[in-house]
Structure 1
Amino acid sequence: MEITMENKEFNKNIAYKKAEKRVKEIKTYYYLVIGFLIVGYFLINKNYNGNLADIAKNYTVWMVILWGIFLAGYGIYLFVPFFNNWEERKTKELMNKQLKNK
């Protein structure tokens, strides 16, 4: 009986650590988005002259666009369950493979 209680406590600690890590990742993402909005606004406001034909020559605008694409990809990684859980699935797969080989 005591082993089961220790196992439950261990599982609770693991679940808590995973939840804590997830919250930290989401919080970091929100900080990145806020920074993108603030810095991107000032960069675009200072460097974009309103001419869409001239956007190809304006590398600062392209930098902000690529930064936005990166943030969108990171958001998909964080919030779409299929992409977020691949690390855990792969870890379990490799652990099972190791256990079978022993």
Structure 2
Amino acid sequence: MTTLADLSRAVRDAGVAAANANQDTWWASCCDAAIRHLAALDRPFTADRVQALIPPADHPCRMGGRFHAAVRAGIIRPIGYTLSERPSRRRGVLRLYQRGVAG
């Protein structure tokens, strides 16, 4: 029997796969390098911190796909939440990450 949680995971994974499938590979490599760099510092960080290190993405969903891939690869792990400092985010909630087991 398929549960609502199963369906939610399938929809999420399909969206992440679509975001990762048609992105600029150069931008993705910049984002991945920034995530690995911040993870190596072994201090908590957010997507705002990564965005400060790389050029802007062509679509807002790109960053989430890269973070999802890094979590699945064990490079980073979610450790909590914080509020964005960027004015455009208006103190929106952000996931907080730290180095993972493979980081």
TM-score, L = length of structure 2:
0.31
Greater RCO structure (CA 8 Å; 6+ sep): 2
- Pick the structure with greater CA Rg: 1
More strand by share: 2
More helix by share: 1
TM-score normalised by L of structure 1: 0.31
